[in-house]
Amino acid sequence: EVQLVESGGDLVQPGGSLRLSCAASGFTFSDHHMDWVRQAPGKGLEWVARVRTKVRSYSTEYAASVKDRFTVSRDDSKNSLYLQMNSLKTEDTGLYFCARDNNKYSHDYWGQGTLVTVSS
């Protein structure tokens, strides 16, 4: 069974840092591009970042709103995805999901999300 389990969400002050993790199981993690998607309270879905597979040199993409502040990475030996978030802003508050790209231009498995709250 495919499972994605996020962790690391917390309450943090503006300007602070946080590292999210996503533990994957039930599939060959190294074969899939992986993404972070977030959802502010009561709002829609917003794509945050992507890390591609080793075949694609672990290349990354970012939303403009997080570029130069967030860093996405992966450790295929640990079947894990990460999101390092620096210089956090109040508008970064939300539920952060990790999602698996199914190699068909869509996300077929999602975690349950981890809550990040940026507030003083």
Partner 1 sequence: IQLTQSPSSLSASVGDRVTITCRASQGINNYLAWYQQKPGKAPKLLIYFASTLQSGVPSRFSGSGSGTDFTLSISSLQPEDFATYYCKQLNGYPITFGQGTRLEIK
Q: Which residues contact partner 1 by CB under 8 A?
A: 35, 37, 44-47, 50, 61-64, 97, 102, 104-108, 110-113
Considering the complex, state which of residue 35 and residue 85 has its C-beta at the smaller distance from partner 1.
35
- Give the residue from 25, 13, 44 showing the smallest Cα distance to 117: 13
To partner 1, the closest distance from the beta carbon of 120 in angstroms equals 26
> How many CB atoms sit inside 10 A of residue 100's CB?
23
State which residue, 32 or 50, has the beta carbon closest to partner 1: 50
- Contact between 46 and 63 under an 8 Å Cβ cutoff? The reply is yes
What's the closest the beta carbon of residue 106 comes to partner 1, in angstroms? 4
Q: Which helix (H) or strand (E) holds 57?
A: none
Residue with tokens 């069974």: 1
Shortest distance, CB of residue 37 to partner 1, whole angstroms?
8
Q: Which is nearer to partner 1, 29 or 97 (CB)?
A: 97
What are the structure tokens assigned to 26, written together?
């039930």
